[in-house]
């Protein structure tokens, strides 16, 4: 792709469950355990059957977390596997983001996922006393270990930073450096998301929004610290100021993430019409093109059953 190319993933989200044993104060996704139930395979099949594989490439399997010691953990893992396998059957490529997993759990899901992901968020431990004080799986060392584990298992991986949740600017560099070092060991990080905290109606705490005018500076910092082959992503629906979006692209961002009918993590921020977004980028000299949930340089990592699902024009 050319130097003026920006990518996005035409995606659809399956949510196995909104229930989560964490309670992050800024979350607009989770629901209390026992309040909403799980997505059935039959209901997921109906959703997938309504999609056009020509216009949707990625099925994002985005789940609330079941506690590691819960008796429902094995059933939850089975449902994650079933939904990914179902997406493959319907001609899509799955990408699962379901929180920290054991090595055995990650290896199990690798068999039915083109890629996987987990936000590192921030490495500073002080957030465990503030926004993450009721979120055991947000321990930064636990999440950093997930990046290492994905590398050990050869899983193409997406991670990222959540900006504006109480960290300091120097924390950005620490987190980005840790991601870069992990990638240099394993070569498995596809992209790093720079996600600005964007307040929603469901969160517990009135945390202010991240100052979007700082985002281009974070992009520049990320580009200076990350290996060149790692793509920097900014979510198009959260960068609501066109000038900030343009400046982020000029600073080194090259992906706008999954463009979906509903952003379940940020439901108050709908995506713009893709044709309007393409037109706007064209006026700035950028070409917006779709991609798969796995980047081309990682295709050889896929097992045969997944490799045959990749469109020939992507090889």
Of 101, 9, 25, the closest CA to residue 59 belongs to: 9
Q: Residue 230: its pLDDT value, please?
A: 98
Mean pLDDT over the full length of the chain = 96
Give the residue-averaged pLDDT of 260-289.
96
Give the residue-averaged pLDDT of 167-196.
98
Query: Is residue 8's pLDDT more than 80?
Result: yes
Domain boundaries, the chain: 5-314
Query: Is residue 104's pLDDT more than 80?
Result: yes
Q: Are 77 and 105 in contact (CB under 8 A)?
A: yes
Give how far the C-alpha of residue 225 lies from the chain's centroid of Cα atoms, to the nearest Å: 20
Query: Is residue 313's pLDDT more than 80?
Result: no
pLDDT tens digits, residue range 194-222?
999 999 988 887 899 999 999 999 999 99
Query: Is residue 7's pLDDT more than 80?
Result: yes
For residues 76 and 66, what is the distance between their CA atoms, to the nearest angstrom? 7
Tell which wins on pLDDT, 73 or 206: 73
Q: Residue 312: its pLDDT value, please?
A: 82
Q: Residue 315: its pLDDT value, please?
A: 53
Inter-helix orientation angle 169-186/140-153, to 10°:
20
The string of DSSP codes covering 26-48 is T-SS-B-TTSS----HHHHHHHH
Backbone angles phi, psi at 106, to 5 degrees: -65, -40
The CATH code belonging to domain 5-314 is 3.20.20.70
* Buried residues in 271-282 as b, exposed as e (16+ CB within 10 A): beebeebeeebe
For residues 156 and 189, what is the distance between their CA atoms, to the nearest angstrom? 6
Q: Residue 121: its pLDDT value, please?
A: 98
Give the residue-averaged pLDDT of 125-153.
97
If phi > 0 it is left, if psi is from -120 to 50 it is alpha, else beta; for residue 257 that is: left
Confidence of residue 2 (pLDDT cuts 50, 70, 90): low
Q: Are 155 and 109 in contact (CB under 8 A)?
A: no
Q: Residue 213: its pLDDT value, please?
A: 98
pLDDT tens digits, residue range 19-28?
999 999 999 9
Tell which wins on pLDDT, 315 or 160: 160
Whole-model pTM: value is: 0.97
For residues 263 and 159, what is the distance between their CA atoms, to the nearest angstrom? 17
Q: What percent of the chain has pLDDT over 90?
A: 92
Q: Residue 229: its pLDDT value, please?
A: 98
Q: Which residues contact 213 (CB under 8 A, 6 or more apart)?
A: 241, 244
Q: Residue 3: its pLDDT value, please?
A: 86
Q: Residue 122: its pLDDT value, please?
A: 98
Query: Is residue 267's pLDDT more than 90?
Result: yes
Backbone angles phi, psi at 38, to 5 degrees: -115, 155
């Amino acid at each position: 792709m050319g130097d003026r190319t920006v990518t996005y993933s035409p995606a659809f989200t399956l949510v196995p469950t909104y229930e989560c044993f964490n309670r992050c104060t800024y979350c607009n996704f989770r629901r209390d355990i026992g309040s909403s139930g799980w997505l059935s395979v039959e209901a997921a099949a109906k959703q997938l059957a309504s999609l056009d594989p020509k216009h949707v490439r990625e099925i994002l399997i985005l789940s609330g977390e079941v506690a590691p010691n819960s008796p429902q953990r094995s059933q939850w893992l089975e449902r994650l596997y079933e939904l990914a396998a179902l997406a493959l059957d319907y001609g899509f490529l799955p990408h699962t983001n379901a929180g920290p997993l054991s090595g055995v759990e990650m290896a199990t899901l690798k068999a039915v996922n083109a890629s996987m992901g987990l936000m590192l968020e921030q490495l500073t431990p002080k957030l465990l006393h503030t926004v993450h004080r009721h979120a055991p799986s947000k321990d930064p060392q636990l999440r950093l270990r997930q990046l290492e584990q994905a590398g050990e298992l050869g899983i193409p991986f997406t991670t990222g930073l959540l900006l504006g949740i109480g960290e300091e600017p120097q924390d950005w560099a620490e987190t980005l450096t840790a991601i870069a070092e992990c990638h240099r060991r394993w070569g498995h990080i596809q992209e790093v998301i720079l996600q600005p905290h964007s307040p929603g109606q469901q969160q517990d705490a009135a945390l202010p929004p991240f100052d979007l005018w700082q985002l281009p500076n974070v992009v520049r910092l990320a580009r200076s610290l990350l290996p060149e082959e790692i793509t920097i992503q900014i979510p198009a629906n959260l960068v609501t100021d066109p000038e900030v979006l343009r400046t982020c692209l000029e600073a080194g961002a090259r992906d706008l993430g999954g463009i979906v009918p509903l952003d379940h993590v940020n439901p108050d921020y709908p995506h713009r019409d893709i044709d309007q977004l393409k037109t706007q980028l064209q006026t700035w000299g950028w070409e917006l093109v779709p991609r798969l949930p796995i980047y081309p340089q990682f295709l050889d990592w896929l097992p045969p059953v997944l490799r045959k699902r990749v469109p020939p024009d992507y090889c």
